[in-house]
Structure 1
Amino acid sequence: MAPGVERIDWAAPWLQPWQTRGEPLAAALQAAGVPVHAALSAAPAPVRFVPQSDLPEGQAYEQFIWDTRCVPTRDNLHDFFNGLVWLEFPQAKRRINELQAQAIAQDGVGAVRGPLRDALTVFDENGALLQAPAALWQALRARDWQRLFIELRPLWAEARLLLFGHALLEKLVSPRKPMVAHVYQAPQAIKSIAALDGWLAQAMQPQPWDAKPFAPLPVLGVPGWWPGNEAPEFYADAQVFRPPR
């Protein structure tokens, strides 16, 4: 089973949207002691989860998934959360994989990813969706942290931040103040994750995604996500809440 699943705090605010599906899956892993790919494969998904050893040596991971609809999976937290995102956002994950495969077909696999593959990887690993009033988005894009988190703090009651990146979910098992999400704007009117999944899959287009249309957001600054951010001084840390360049 995946080492570390017992450390996941499903009551953490950032994991609450994932709790219904993720907590029973983690419990099953602990109880049965089966490999992560086997536990994930018990749930309906557009792909199968297979052992990492099924990935042929020298073949690109993304291309293998596109060609076979099989996701090579290791027994670790990183791949556990990757599988969880596949189960919760199947259309968006499939769209990411489609665009990655198209970029590989066009540019090949080099030492450096092209702009589109790089942007897709950033979001896949570290992305999040933010549904928020326009004033919050304006302050976020301006990196006006004082306005975003203190002056406009009441507006966060109308916002929802939904993590997507599986590396970010993994890192937040041991939360630290400097952790930053790459945030993409989603419409406030969409309520269900299933509807967000379909919208995101449609929104992912080579342009403007190749330009990384994301905003950096220190996730533990979100009101209600971390006890320390009740104090205004929390946001005075310029190493985390960096001013605009």
Structure 2
Amino acid sequence: MADVIPANACSPFAAIDWSRPWNAPLAERGARWQSAALAGYAAYLDALNADARAAALVSGRGKPLGFIAQDDLPEGASYEAHIAQTGCVPTRHNLHDFFNGLMWFAQPRIKAALNTRQAMQIDALGIGPTRGGVRDALTLFDENAVLFACADRALADALRRFDWRTLFVTERAGWGTRCEARIFGHALLEKLVAPYKACTGHAWIVEVPDSYFSVDDTARRAMLDALVAERLLSEPLDSRAFSPLPVLGVPGWWDANASADFYDDTSVFRPGRRIR
């Protein structure tokens, strides 16, 4: 098996802090998986597959989902096509694939929709030296997306035009009542194991009703799962659909951003642009 990480306290898995606001929604399952991953590759895959059987997850083409060692991916097979056709997710013993697995449980309809679109593109165009615009956008979503749930168009517009002062300072009270951010991209979650100020996600704006902010975390996540999956399967997609979001600017996510001058750093909070 490739990429096996030693089972000890120096493992990168030991560095995951489930008290971080972006990790907290994943903490219950994540902490169990973390213990399994620290025990070794086989124990880790066993934990993922036990949960997959219990949750009855499916791939983009409706195949029962399971997790296999990366070395079990047939030579020459496409990763996304293999998942769609078999339900088997090649999984390495590393943080990147750890968070990818967690997201299959946290947002299963979105993950299946991404897998569906990827497989459709592969069926139509094959596997070439480049992915093409649609597959690039799908991969960007999978790796680095932040779901920006918003019930106030003015806040969504502020994000689109890089109006950080409005989004994070003037309208700060709107976070949690009119907008919120949820990290979806597994590569972004991996980066945030060791957070740094310039860490930036690609925000996907999701219009939600006011009632979204009066229900619990489970209901919010389910609503986003349905809304986003439907859009991914029905809308054209390219990289221009995203808005950059420096994630440590999200109120409550980083102690230093309690001070308004945190947002004066133009190397991170860059000047605005026109609304497309």
Q: TM-score, structure 2 length as denominator?
A: 0.83
**Counterpart of 1:27?**
35
**Counterpart of 1:126?**
144
Matching residue within 246, 249, 269 for 1:218? 246
Check conservation: 1:35, 1:75, Cα contact below 8 A.
no
Is structure 2 residue 128 aligned with structure 1 residue 110? yes
Matching residue within 75, 88, 91 for 1:73? 91
Deviation at 1:35, TM superposition (A): 4.7
Note closer, same or farther for the CA distance 1:205–1:33 as it changes in structure 2 (3 Å cut): closer
Measure, in 2, the Cα distance between the counterparts of 1:19 and 1:162: 14
Matching residue within 17, 20, 23 for 1:12? 20
Check conservation: 1:36, 1:73, Cα contact below 8 A.
no
Deviation at 1:89, TM superposition (A): 1.4
Measure, in 1, the Cα distance between the counterparts of 2:105 and 2:121: 24
* Counterpart residue identity of residue 98, structure 2: F
Measure, in 2, the Cα distance between the counterparts of 1:212 and 1:60: 26
Measure, in 2, the Cα distance between the counterparts of 1:140 and 1:125: 20
Is structure 2 residue 229 aligned with structure 1 residue 201? yes
Check conservation: 1:116, 1:206, Cα contact below 8 A.
no
* Counterpart residue identity of residue 207, structure 1: E
Check conservation: 2:136, 2:239, Cα contact below 8 A.
no
SS state at 1:177 partner: coil
Deviation at 1:178, TM superposition (A): 0.8
Deviation digits for residues 172-202 of structure 1, max 9, x if unmatched? Answer: 0000111111111223334432232122211
Check conservation: 2:110, 2:228, Cα contact below 8 A.
yes
**Counterpart of 1:135?**
154
Check conservation: 2:148, 2:181, Cα contact below 8 A.
yes
Measure, in 2, the Cα distance between the counterparts of 1:183 and 1:152: 18
**Counterpart of 1:144?**
163
Matching residue within 256, 262, 273 for 1:234? 262
* Counterpart residue identity of residue 25, structure 2: P
Report % sequence identity: 45
Count of aligned pairs = 245
Is structure 2 residue 178 aligned with structure 1 residue 178? no
Deviation digits for residues 149-172 of structure 1, max 9, x if unmatched? Answer: 111111113122111100011110
Unaligned runs of 5+ in 1: none
SS state at 2:67 partner: strand
Measure, in 1, the Cα distance between the counterparts of 2:49 and 2:169: 44
Deviation at 1:207, TM superposition (A): 3.2
* Counterpart residue identity of residue 85, structure 1: M
**Counterpart of 1:161?**
181
SS state at 2:93 partner: coil
Measure, in 1, the Cα distance between the counterparts of 2:158 and 2:134: 27
SS state at 1:150 partner: helix
